[in-house]
Amino acid sequence: MPILVGETTFGLIRDDIAAREVDIIRVVGKAKPVAVYEIIGEKSGLVREEVEKLSLYEEARDAYKRQGVEESGVPFREDRGRRPGRLYRERCENLDLSPPPADWDGIFHLKSK
């Protein structure tokens, strides 16, 4: 089970703890979107393979935010069905079928609490 934290908590631990941005969400009733992070582990304890996977994920996530759906879809497919890779693979496939509007910001809007 992944451990998820918000922006404030991640800001407090970011020097020592590796995490990846899972999503940026807009919560019902709030105007400002917030980033949600998955804790990976202590930075000092990560092996090279974990660092490389984290770097690839971050590159794919950045491409997704820029609407580089094709560019980001490949690394997400290689995430072997794990979340959040599976989530982004599905989003990329949906965006391939129905491209987003020009003002798309990649923020996921929660429709209920």
Q: In what order do the strands lie in the sheet with 4-6?
A: 4-6, 34-42, 17-26, 108-109
Q: Where are the domains of the chain?
A: 4-109
pLDDT digits (tens, 9 = 90+) for 8-43: 999 999 999 999 998 898 888 888 999 999 999 999
pLDDT digits (tens, 9 = 90+) for 59-107: 888 877 777 666 555 566 555 545 677 777 777 777 778 887 878 787 8
Quickly state the pLDDT bin for 52 (edges 50, 70, 90): confident
Asked, as a colleague might, if the bond just before 101 is cis with ω within 30 of 0, I would say no
